[in-house]
């Protein structure tokens, strides 16, 4: 029985917010019905007050009952225990998709002279009436309009992102190459990539939109011999100028604008991928093209520069497979070649980029 009671106690404590309070001055404990005023900035404080400690309401990792109203009430209880009749919120961390699902606050414990001056809540200019998906929270000095995650109704509905960086194709090179040929293939398998995306966001966290992604590489190989169909041996150079493009619908899962340091995100897009190689063989130009279904999957973390502008690293996996290629020769003739299974053109690559996000 004692083990059952211990287990129940552990589960109960794990579900409650983590509370840490430190007091520098001892005061008589307040009655649980006494008013505690909440301030959100130092500019709201009265001319005369004293700080007697701090309290922090956090997340144990298993906390479930941690909406803003509950967390704020926990802070008020800590204030009364310490003899404080006011709180100054110095930090408010919001729930987000890639971390804690709780509101977390840090507040100074204060003593003020007259709490009756703050009986009537003041409504901030950007407050809006409560709807079915929101609720009004009164803290004694202000009125907030919060939805289920404490976000304001003015959250961004659109997001534009752009990335640029170095890319590396993962296809293997042919065997038996000399040093010059190996360098040639390395040049073709690494290049510059960039992409642009635009999303419409739902609740600032999930969104659907359109992604455009491009990869470019080029290489030159000189003084090579090839044997023509009639047995003639010719000497010359080879060059390739490759462009791989993708466009298609995309989905994003991201932290919203209330994440303090920055925003993590995941993206997935499926669409049309095209391949183009403007090539030359011993001075004769020709073009190789192909297309198929393509996929882009990416993850990144962008640090907040301003409330709506962020910059940070992004890694993406991009690619598809070509099962046939179309050749267009200098005389205007064309030829379509179906590739055997072992000859499929592998377009998969890794993009390592620096990106920017803009919310509006």
Asked which of 73-82, 229-238, 299-308, 318-327 is least confident by mean pLDDT, the reply is 229-238
Give the pTM.
0.63
Instruction: Please list the residues that pair with 266 across neighbouring strands.
Output: 253, 299
Return the pLDDT at 137: 43
Most confident of 8-22, 172-186, 229-243, 303-317: 303-317
Return the pLDDT at 252: 96
Instruction: Please list the residues that pair with 208 across neighbouring strands.
Output: 200, 251
Taking only the tens place, the pLDDT of each residue in 101-141 is 788 899 999 999 887 777 544 444 443 343 444 343 444 43
Return the pLDDT at 298: 96
Return the pLDDT at 202: 87
Return the pLDDT at 96: 65
Q: How far apart are CA 338 and CA 326, in angstroms?
A: 9
Q: How far apart are CA 271 and CA 92, in angstroms?
A: 40
Return the pLDDT at 326: 96
Higher pLDDT, 247 or 176: 247
Whether the pLDDT of residue 154 is over 60: the answer is no
Higher pLDDT, 246 or 4: 246
Cα 201-69-65 angle, rounded to 5 deg: 85
Q: How far apart are CA 271 and CA 210, in angstroms?
A: 10
Higher pLDDT, 62 or 312: 312
Q: Is 179 helix (H, G, I), strand (E, B) or coil?
A: helix
Instruction: Please list the residues that pair with 218 across neighbouring strands.
Output: 241
Asked which of 131-140, 158-167, 173-182, 220-229 is least confident by mean pLDDT, the reply is 131-140
Closest among 137, 62, 69 to 100, alpha carbons compared: 62
Closest among 154, 118, 144, 148 to 133, alpha carbons compared: 148
Runs of H (alpha helix) within 26-108: 68-82
Q: How far apart are CA 83 and CA 85, in angstroms?
A: 7
Count of CB atoms situated within 10 Å of the CB of 94: 19
* Cα-Cα end-to-end distance for the chain: 57
**Tokens 């009436």 map to which residue?**
129
Whether the pLDDT of residue 196 is over 80: the answer is yes
Whether the pLDDT of residue 174 is over 50: the answer is yes
Q: How far apart are CA 119 and CA 38, in angstroms?
A: 11
Q: How far apart are CA 179 and CA 354, in angstroms?
A: 32
Closest among 288, 192, 273, 291 to 240, alpha carbons compared: 288
Q: How far apart are CA 239 and CA 216, in angstroms?
A: 14
The mean pLDDT of 289-297, rounded to a whole number, is 97
Question: Are residues 139 and 38 in contact, defined by beta-carbon separation less than 8 angstroms?
Answer: yes
Q: Mind giving me the DSSP string for 326-342?
A: EEEETTS-EEEEEPPGG
Q: How far apart are CA 42 and CA 116, in angstroms?
A: 19
Instruction: Please list the residues that pair with 321 across neighbouring strands.
Output: 346
The mean pLDDT of 326-347, rounded to a whole number, is 93
Pairing relation of β-strands 122-123 and 142-147? parallel
**Tokens 């183009």 map to which residue?**
276
Whether the pLDDT of residue 200 is over 80: the answer is yes
Measured in whole angstroms, how far is the alpha carbon of residue 31 from the centre of its chain?
45
Across the chain, mean pLDDT equals 83
Whole-Å CA distances, 211 to 1, 157, 207, 248, 273? 59, 17, 12, 6, 12
Return the pLDDT at 334: 95
């Amino acid at each position: 029985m004692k083990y059952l009671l211990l287990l129940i106690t552990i589960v109960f404590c794990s579900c409650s917010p983590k509370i840490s309070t430190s007091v520098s001055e001892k005061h008589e404990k307040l009655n649980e019905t006494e008013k505690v005023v909440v301030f959100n900035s130092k500019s709201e404080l009265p001319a005369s007050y004293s700080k007697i400690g701090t309290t922090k309401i956090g997340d144990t990792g298993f906390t479930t009952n941690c909406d803003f109203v509950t967390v704020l009430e926990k802070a008020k209880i800590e204030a009364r225990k310490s003899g404080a009749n006011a709180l100054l919120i110095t930090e408010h961390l919001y729930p987000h998709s890639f971390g804690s699902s709780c509101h977390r606050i840090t507040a100074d414990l204060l003593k003020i002279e007259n709490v009756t001056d703050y009986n009537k809540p003041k409504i901030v200019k950007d407050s809006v009436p409560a709807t079915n998906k929101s609720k009004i929270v009164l803290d004694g000095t202000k009125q907030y309009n919060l939805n289920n995650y404490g976000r304001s109704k003015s959250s961004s509905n659109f997001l534009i992102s752009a990335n640029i960086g170095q890319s590396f194709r993962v296809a293997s090179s042919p065997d038996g190459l000399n040093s010059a040929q190996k360098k040639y293939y390395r040049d073709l398998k690494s290049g510059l990539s960039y992409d642009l995306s635009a999303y419409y966001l739902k609740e600032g966290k999930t969104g659907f939109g359109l992604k455009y992604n491009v990869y470019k590489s080029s290489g030159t190989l000189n003084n090579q011999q090839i044997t023509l169909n009639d047995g003639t041996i010719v000497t010359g150079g080879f060059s390739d100028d490759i462009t791989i493009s993708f466009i298609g619908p995309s989905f994003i899962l991201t932290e919203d604008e209330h994440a303090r340091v920055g925003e993590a995100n995941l993206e997935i897009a499926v669409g049309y991928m095209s391949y183009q190689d403007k090539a030359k063989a011993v001075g004769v130009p020709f073009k190789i093209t192909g297309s198929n279904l393509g996929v882009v999957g990416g993850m990144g973390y962008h640090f907040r520069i301003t409330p709506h502008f962020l910059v940070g690293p992004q890694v993406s996996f991009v690619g598809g497979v070509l099962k046939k290629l179309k050749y267009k020769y200098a005389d205007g003739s064309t030829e379509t070649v179906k590739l055997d299974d072992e000859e499929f053109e592998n377009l998969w690559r890794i993009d390592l980029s620096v990106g920017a996000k803009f919310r509006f």
